[in-house]
């Protein structure tokens, strides 16, 4: 997959393209359905396939006070998109100037001049451009003169009886409730966060359960405070079972300001400081709570570790 950051020149000089456009945060199963349609149409028409996205979530520029936490950072999003078989990923810088660009100007500059678009596939609720003025109807109107078709696609419905489509918003809501299993079903892959391992207060080690304190960007979504079973990947590719605590550790701190992510790697003894960790959430174990004393906490930690081990082993069977 080619990654294009300069939209001033034609990406495929000798070919037209079938494209889609969006934030694609999470690259979930709804996104994958759109991408599959893009690739199918491109193959049928003898075109290239391309996806247009942005270097940051547009909401961080147009409404930063209410911008959503991200399901995927830029590197993770690119990795997931590289697995789709697309020919090109076009990354548009999103700033105040981009936010002010009219839908018509954006279509001409990116869809027509840069990609020579033959068809565009989007969800039927798609909006774009200044103040979200652009929509499917406008794309169709512009396409009549510019020579491209518009293929709206119905959004993928959830399969749990809730009457809403799969979306990044629905996944964030599931994570906010600690329901990582439901979030993962909608994502189509385990929810993952990344961060560097930093020194903490060493309480886990003193309790007999050393943890990697993973510093996750404040822009990234975290599941609800609680204890989870999951997987921890080191930079060398080694993957370890782990019990994960997200929370403020109320047994020790009465008024902690932020939630921390700590991962206890099962059957591991080594130095992780300074490494970049990839932590994948698979099962919710319990909510975070305050314990009456150290002994009660240690006993619960033993239970958490064995529960994590059992669930993760069962997943491998």
Distance CA 58, CA 98 (A): 9
- Cα 288 to its chain centre, rounded Å, is 24
Alpha-carbon distances, residue 156 vs 187, 188, 251 (angstroms)? 12, 12, 42
Distance CA 203, CA 211 (A): 9
Q: Give the tokens for residue 184.
A: 């993962």
Q: Which residues are catalytic?
A: 262
- In SS3 terms, the chain reads as CEEECCCCCCCCCCCCEEEEECCCCCCCHHHHHHHHHHHHHHHHHCCEEEEEEECCCCHHHHCHHHCCCECCCHHHHHHHHHCCCCCEEEEECCCHHHHHCCHHHHHHHHHHHHCCEEEEEEECCCEECHHHCEEHHHHHHHHHHHCCEEEEECCCECCCCCCCECCHHHHHHHHHCCCHHHHHHHHCCCEEEEEEEECCCCHHHHHCCCCEEEEECCCECCCCCEEEEEEEECCCCCEEEEEEEEECCCCCCCCCCCCEEEEEECCCCCCCCCCEEEEEEEEEEEECCCCCCHHHHHHHHHHHHHHHHHHHHHHHC
- φ/ψ (deg, to 5) at 46: 70, 35
Q: Which of 81, 78, 135, 68 is nearest to 106 (CA)?
A: 135
């Amino acid at each position: 997959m080619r990654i294009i950051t300069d939209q001033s020149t034609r990406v495929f000089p000798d070919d037209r393209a079938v494209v889609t456009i969006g934030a694609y945060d999470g690259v979930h199963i709804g996104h994958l359905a759109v991408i599959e349609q893009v690739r199918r149409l491109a193959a049928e028409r003898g075109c290239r396939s391309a996806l247009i996205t942005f270097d940051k979530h547009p909401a961080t520029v147009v409404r930063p006070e209410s911008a959503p936490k991200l399901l995927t950072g830029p590197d993770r999003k690119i990795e997931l998109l590289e697995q789709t078989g697309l020919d090109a990923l076009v990354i548009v810088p999103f700033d105040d100037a981009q936010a002010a660009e009219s839908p018509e100007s954006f279509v001409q500059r990116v869809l027509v001049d840069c990609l020579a678009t033959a068809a565009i596939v989007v969800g039927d609720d798609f909006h774009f451009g200044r103040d979200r003025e652009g929509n499917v109807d406008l794309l169709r109107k512009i396409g009549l003169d510019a020579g491209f078709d518009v293929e709206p696609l119905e959004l993928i419905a959830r399969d749990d009886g809730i009457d809403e489509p799969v979306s990044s918003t629905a996944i964030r809501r599931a994570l906010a409730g600690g329901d990582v299993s439901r979030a993962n079903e909608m994502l189509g892959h385990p929810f993952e966060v990344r961060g560097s391992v930093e020194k903490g207060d060493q309480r886990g080690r003193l309790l007999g359960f050393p943890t990697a304190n993973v510093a996750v960007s404040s822009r990234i979504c975290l599941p609800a405070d609680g204890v989870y079973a999951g997987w921890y990947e080191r930079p060398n590719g080694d993957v370890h079972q782990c019990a994960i605590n997200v929370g403020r550790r109320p047994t020790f701190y009465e008024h902690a300001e932020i939630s921390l992510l700590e991962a206890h790697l099962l059957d591991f003894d080594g130095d992780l400081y300074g490494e970049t960790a990839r932590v994948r959430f698979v099962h919710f174990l319990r909510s975070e709570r305050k314990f009456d004393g150290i002994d009660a906490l240690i006993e619960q930690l033993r239970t958490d570790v064995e529960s994590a081990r059992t669930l993760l082993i069962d997943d491998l069977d």
